[in-house]
């Protein structure tokens, strides 16, 4: 989904995902509808020295103004929460690529996730701690807002309460939420990073099931969506960390197939079919005057009528772009660069010297899995 740039703080782009446009009206409705204002008002009245008159807040369009102000204030609070993570990460010289506000709250995309337990611990708790500080700020503002400004008094008080809720909810040990990352950090004091992640992810899926049951029984679709997010994110990160560990210490040069097998862009598909069979490969890099211009695969040939193989050129069916990496690129980064493509090209001084396919990475991961994922890959002269 598309992200819209909002502003930049500390050099960090703050973005809004279009999914937020779906959630914003829902939040406005949840804040404004029914008896919600009366319920929140009783708690706010206990915090504020001024008496909060509820009746004016429930008249006309006022509830909807409160809902809109509260929803916008909530996502402002989420942005500050994520800036707390970013600030803590900066203390460890870890940059933040962006902060995105989306349907599930906020996401601070750190340049790297520290494996040292104490660093992950402090970066994780920084968000909830920032939310608590923000709650204190809003509670302080309540002490000076005149009772006549009922709408302002309510919104500020509601934000004080919701920031406490935000901090407490995020500290639930439901990986990959903040509490789950704190749990992984503490588990990392005793077990390996991979094992700690696996345990935290399993606990996260249990919480996801709990959220789903409560959401369904309580008629809360947002909680069901949170359950889905926690489940998918926990299982995905657990698998990602396991893959990263299997590829740790491996470079592109260690697993690449050399030389880089290529075909000319103007070659016919009949010639390519012959080359694929002779080389027992399912893809070739496409070149034009020694410049890489694309990628052709066996599936590309399968989409062409057999009667036209002699007259159709590679240029007509190839994928126009192919990812490339350097010799010293870590294998896990190679996998990321590959994306949905079947391979990446390995370059040395701008010239293709080999390729790395999913099969190449799969073979090395299978080998290391069977060997118990030993330490850094032992490189030998090629």
CA distance 154 to 44: 7
pLDDT tens digits along 21-43: 777 887 788 777 767 777 778 88
Question: Which residues are known binding-site members for Zn(2+)?
Answer: 81, 85, 178
Q: DSSP string of 299-327?
A: HHHHTS-GGGTTT-BHHHHSBS---EEET
Q: How big is the chain, counted in residues? A: 382
The band of 1, judged by pLDDT with boundaries at 50, 70 and 90, is low
Q: What confidence score (pLDDT) does residue 218 get? A: 83
Active site residue 82: yes
> Per-residue pLDDT tens for 59-109?
778 888 888 888 889 889 999 999 999 999 999 999 999 998 887 778 888
3-class DSSP state of 265: coil
Q: How many CB atoms lie within 10 A of CB 313?
A: 15
Higher confidence at residue 380 or residue 218? Answer: 218
Kindly give, in sequence order, each residue whose CB lies less than 8 Å from that of residue 140, ignoring residues fewer than 6 positions away.
none
Ranking 24-28, 68-72, 204-208, 286-290 by mean pLDDT, the lowest is: 286-290
Examine the pLDDT at 224 and tell me if it is beyond 50: yes
What does the block give as tokens for 40?
């929140």
- The average confidence (pLDDT) of the chain is 83
The per-residue DSSP string of 135-188 comes to HHHHHHHHTTS-TT-HHHHHHHHHHHHHHHHHHHHHTSS-TTSHHHHHHHHHHT
Of 33, 59, 82, 333, the active-site residue reads: 82
Both tokens of residue 1?
A: 């989904």
**DSSP result, 62-75:** HHHHHHHHHHHHHH
Q: Is 53 a residue whose pLDDT tops 80?
A: no
Binding residues are: 81, 85, 178
CA atoms within 13 A on the CB side of 245: 19
Beta strands 105-110 and 96-102: pairing type? antiparallel
Residues of CATH 3.10.580.10 domain(s) within the chain?
252-370
Find out whether 352 and 345 touch, Cβ atoms under 8 Å.
yes
Alpha-carbon span 220 to 22, nearest angstrom? 16
pLDDT digits (tens, 9 = 90+) for 242-263: 888 888 888 888 888 777 777 7
Q: Are 225 and 104 in contact (CB under 8 A)?
A: yes
Asked if pLDDT for residue 378 goes beyond 70, the answer is: no
Q: What angle do CA 152, 61, 106 make, to 5 degrees?
A: 60
Using CB atoms within 10 Å of the CB of residue 84, give its burial: 0 to 12 exposed, 13 to 18 middle, 19+ buried: buried
More confident residue, 136 or 344: 136
Candidate CATH numbers 3.75.10.10, 3.20.20.210, 3.10.580.10, 3.40.1360.10; the one for domain 252-370: 3.10.580.10
């Amino acid at each position: 989904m598309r992200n819209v740039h909002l502003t930049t703080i500390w050099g960090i782009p703050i973005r809004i995902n279009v999914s937020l446009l779906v959630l914003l009206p829902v939040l406005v409705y949840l804040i404004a509808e029914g008896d919600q204002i009366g319920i929140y008002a009783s708690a706010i009245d206990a915090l504020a020295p001024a008496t909060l008159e509820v009746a004016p807040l429930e008249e006309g369009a006022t509830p909807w103004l409160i809902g809109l102000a509260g929803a916008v204030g909530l996502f402002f609070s989420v942005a500050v929460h994520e800036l707390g993570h970013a600030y803590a990460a900066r203390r460890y010289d870890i940059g933040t690529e962006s902060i995105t506000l989306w349907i599930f709250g906020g996401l601070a995309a750190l340049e790297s996730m520290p494996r040292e337990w104490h660093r992950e611990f402090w970066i994780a708790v920084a968000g909830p701690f920032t939310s608590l500080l923000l709650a204190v700020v809003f509670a302080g503002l309540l002490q000076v807002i005149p009772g006549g400004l009922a709408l302002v008094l309510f919104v500020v008080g509601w934000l004080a309460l919701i920031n406490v809720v935000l901090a407490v909810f995020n500290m639930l040990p439901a990986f990959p939420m903040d509490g789950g990352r704190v749990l992984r950090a503490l588990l990392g004091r005793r077990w390996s990073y991979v094992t700690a992640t696996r345990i935290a992810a399993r606990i996260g899926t249990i919480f996801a099931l709990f959220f789903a049951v409560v959401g369904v029984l309580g008629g809360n679709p947002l909680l069901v969506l949170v359950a889905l997010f926690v489940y998918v994110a926990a299982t995905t990160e657990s698998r990602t960390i396991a893959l990263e560990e299997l590829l740790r210490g491996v470079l592109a040069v260690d697993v690449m197939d050399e030389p880089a097998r290529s075909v000319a862009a103007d070659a016919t598909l009949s010639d390519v079919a012959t080359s694929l069979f002779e080389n027992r490969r399912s893809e070739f890099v496409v070149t034009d005057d020694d410049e890489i211009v694309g990628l052709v695969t066996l599936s590309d040939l399968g989409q062409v009528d057999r009667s036209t193989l002699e007259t159709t050129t590679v240029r007509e069916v190839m994928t126009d772009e192919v990812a490339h990496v350097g010799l010293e690129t870590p294998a896990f980064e190679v996998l990321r660069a590959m994306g949905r493509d079947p391979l990446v090209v390995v370059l040395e001084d701008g010239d293709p010297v080999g390729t790395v396919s999913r099969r190449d990475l799969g073979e090395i991961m299978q080998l290391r899995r069977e060997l118990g994922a030993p330490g850094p890959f032992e490189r030998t002269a090629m």
